[in-house]
Amino acid sequence: MHISGWIMFIFGCLILYGGLTICICIAKKGRGENGDSR
Amino acid sequence: MAEKRDRWHSRTSFIMAAVGSAVGLGNVWRFPYVAYESGGGAFLIPYFIALFTAGIPMLILEMGLGQRLQMGAPGVFGAIRKSWQWFGWWAAGLSACIVIYYSTILSWSWVYLWHSFKLAWGTNPEQFFMQEVLQKSSGPAEMGAPIWYLVVGSILTWAAIYIILRKGVRNVSKVVMITVPLPMVLLTVLLIRGLTLPGAMDGISYYLTPDFSKLADANIWLRAYGQIFFSLSLASGVMIGYGSYLGRKAEVTNSALITGLANCGTSFFAGFAVFSMLGYLAQVQGMPVPDVTASGTGLAFVAYPTAILKLPALSVLFGIIFFVTLLMLGIDSAFALQEAFTTGLHDKWKIKPEKLALGFVAVAMPISLVFTTHGGFYWFDIVDKWICDFGLVAAGLAQCIAVGYLYDIHDFRRYLNSISEVRLGNWWIWALRFVTPAVLTVILVMNVRNEIMATYEDYPRWATNVGGWGTLIICAIVSWILARRPGKIKE
């Protein structure tokens, strides 16, 4: 595959899976499981 | 004493259910093909822009409305304007219509799962699908009788939906812990199998190599917004309904972000599983990848089974894995669609989940048998096209206008920020008031124009009038009747 394809692969992974990881980390640090404030 | 509203077992189960609703067959059989056709990896640019300027804002809107008002779509829109309760029923009614024909796709998947044990599609899978499975007639006028094994598949699907929904979202909370992760695991297995085959990288190269010149074509951007819109189960009352079972202090914004990113992440991932296999198929058949590439039913029931048949080993196992994946992907989308409608019935008339599940299945299943007839595929195609291209797009547009201009959206943003882990800026309001309505308007106008200029797939006009416009009109009438009937819509 051309290098441009690899670049788009990394771009897609960063946005999607990087973003997902950040959001999940925020969720784990944030509110309680049932929506109660910590 | 007011009846306590059903609740999700946990925030995780809510997010799983929302992801399960959004992630469906389209993530596998549509996104990879659309990306490939629309500039490959370059398509990710408009796709992500659409995700963050329309998809996620609307997810936040819908989940937030349901959570704040603790009602499904009819109640929510009735609360915005009393006369708009009808519109909430219309959106939820579209979901009810969708699940009726969506069950037929699952019925095909059940049949193919059965056929996987002997790889029955053989060396001419297209003929097998059209002639042996669908027993397709020559046109929509020739309906014929329901085909018995498709009826069996339909019964299995409706039985599963009934069993899952009869105890409400508490049961859904448990079921989604299987139906959401399992297809991800199975897709991973298919991906690993695909990547280890000769020709796989050639296929993936077609999927991902960018053609940035396509970004100059406005249609590609519209396609991206359309793909995001349909992929996230928006405007159908599903996310409003699911949000309504969240606690009164439950987080919304970050949950919506996770749902949107998980859905699109699954699509992106599925593309590798699909195109690695298509690359292999192209190599084995000595053809270029574009010649074997397909989408929709052509991918799921023709191209992919062809590739499976030609695997060097364990073809039966991978066939079973593929069709179980399709079933798992589809079932949680299906029961989410039904729940969107029955939540409205529960809110208004306090009917218990068991009765709702039974009543809905009792009415919907006989109707769905239409799509199991010899002419059923044509009607499925027409109804699906009209509901998606006109019904849902119009519903999405009206939803943005209702919340963006008739509701106090600034107060709503403050409310969401008070309960959420991620703060929403004014960009969210601009997205809902301007970006999303503008895009949906253009899509709707283009769809209407295209339909006026040439009938869809050269179907006879009477068929598209009856199956297409007719379905939307019946949905509108039923919605109006349900809105006018007395009941207690407020909690």
Assess A3–B contact: CB distance below 8 Å, yes or no.
no
Chain B residue with CA closest to A37: the answer is B249
- Is residue A22's pLDDT more than 60? yes
pLDDT digits (tens, 9 = 90+) for B345-385: 999 999 999 999 999 999 999 999 999 999 999 999 999 99
Q: Who among B247, B255, B257 is closest to A34 (CB)? A: B247
How many other C-beta atoms can be found within 10 angstroms of the C-beta atom of residue B171? 18
Q: What's the rounded Cα separation, in Å, for the pair B488 and B142?
A: 44
pLDDT of B246-264, one tens digit each? 999 999 999 999 999 999 9
A4 contacts B210? CB cut-off 8 A: yes
State whether A15 and B204 contact (CB < 8 Å).
Answer: no
- Is the minimum CB–CB distance between A24 and chain B shorter than 8 Å? yes
Tell me, what's the pLDDT at B97? 96
In the structure encoding, which two tokens stand for residue B266, read together? 């699954």
Residue B142 pLDDT greater than 50, yes or no: yes
Percent of chain B with pLDDT over 70: 99
Residue B287 has pLDDT above 70, yes or no: yes
Instruction: Give the nearest partner residue to A30 out of B251, B261, B268, using CB atoms.
Output: B251
The residue assigned the tokens 């069950």 is B103
Chain B CA closest to residue A22: B258
Predicted confidence band of residue B413 (pLDDT cuts 50, 70, 90): very high
pTM: 0.94
pLDDT attached to residue A37: 38
What pLDDT score was predicted for residue B114?
A: 97
Q: Which two tokens stand for residue B219?
A: 């249609």
Long-range contacts, B140-144 (Cβ 8 Å, 24+): B140/B375, B140/B378, B140/B379, B140/B382, B140/B459, B140/B460, B140/B463, B140/B467, B141/B375, B141/B460, B141/B463, B142/B374, B142/B375, B143/B370, B143/B373, B143/B374, B143/B375, B143/B376, B144/B373, B144/B374, B144/B375
Q: Which residue of A has its CA nearest to B266?
A: A16
Residue B130 has pLDDT above 60, yes or no: yes
- Are B140 and B460 in contact by the 8 Å Cβ rule? The answer is yes
Question: Which one of B48, B201, B262 has the shortest CB-CB distance to A20?
Answer: B262
- Residue B343 parent element (H or E): helix B315-349
- For residue B10, give the nearest of B181, B169, B238 by alpha carbon: B169
pLDDT band at A30 (very low <50, low <70, confident <90, very high): confident
Report pLDDT digits (tens) over B63-107: 999 999 999 999 999 999 989 999 999 999 999 999 999 999 999
Work out the mean pLDDT of chain B and round it to a whole number.
95
Q: Which of B44, B261, B421 is the closest to A8 by Cβ?
A: B44
Q: What are phi and psi of B373, to 5 degrees?
A: -80, 175
Mind listing the domains of chain B with CATH numbers?
11-484 (1.20.1740.10)
Report the 3 state secondary structure along B227-277.
Answer: HHHHHCCCCCCHHHHHHCCCCCCCCCHHHHHHHHHHHHHHHHHHHHHHHHH
Q: Which of B48, B249, B264 sits opposite A36 (nearest CB)?
A: B249
Q: Is B485 a residue whose pLDDT tops 70? A: yes
Half-sphere exposure of residue B320: CA atoms within 13 angstroms, side-chain side: 6
Q: Can you tell me the mean pLDDT for B412-439?
A: 96
Dihedral sign (CA A10, A16, A18, A21): negative
Q: What span, in angstroms and rounded, lies between the C-alpha atoms of B442 and B476?
A: 23
Residues in chain A: 38
Model pLDDT, residue B330: 96
Which residue does chain B place closest to A5, by CA atoms? B209
User: Which residues, listed in sequence order, are joined to residue B146 by a DSSP beta bridge?
Assistant: B373
B251 and A27: CB-CB below 8 Å? yes
**Amino acid identity of B334?**
A
Q: Which of B209, B246, B247 sits opposite A5 (nearest CB)?
A: B209
pLDDT of residue B489: 74
Q: What pLDDT, on the 0 to 100 scale, is given for residue B455?
A: 85
Residue B373, beta-bridge partner list: B146
Distance CA B94, CA B156 (A): 23
| pLDDT level of residue B305 (50, 70, 90 thresholds) | very high
Backbone phi and psi for residue B440, each to the nearest 5 degrees, phi listed first: -65, -35
Single-letter residue type at B453: M
Q: Write out pLDDT tens, residues B210-219.
A: 999 999 999 9
Phi and psi at residue B146, to the nearest 5° = -60, 145
Interchain contact, A1 vs B209, CB within 8 Å: yes
Letter for the amino acid at B165?
L
Q: Average of pLDDT values for B277-297? A: 93
> Looking at residue B3, what DSSP letter applies?
P
pLDDT band per the 50, 70, 90 thresholds, residue B138: very high
B210: left (phi over 0), alpha (psi -120 to 50) or beta: beta
Whether A25 has its CB under 8 Å from any CB of chain B: the answer is no
Question: Cβ of A34 and B11 within 8 Å?
Answer: yes
Give contacts of B417 with chain A, Cβ < 8 Å: none
Contact A35 B249 (CB under 8 A): yes
The percentage of residues in chain B with a pLDDT greater than 90, rounded to a whole number, is 95
pLDDT score of B435: 96
Q: Give me the mean pLDDT over the A16-37 stretch.
A: 79
Q: Which two tokens stand for residue B51?
A: 């995700």
Closest CA–CA distance from residue A25 to any residue of chain B (Å): 10
At residue A36, does pLDDT exceed 90?
no
Tell whether A31 lies on the interface with B, counting CB pairs under 8 A.
yes
The reported pLDDT for the residue numbered B2 is 53
Predicted confidence (pLDDT) at residue A35 exceeds the cutoff of 50? no
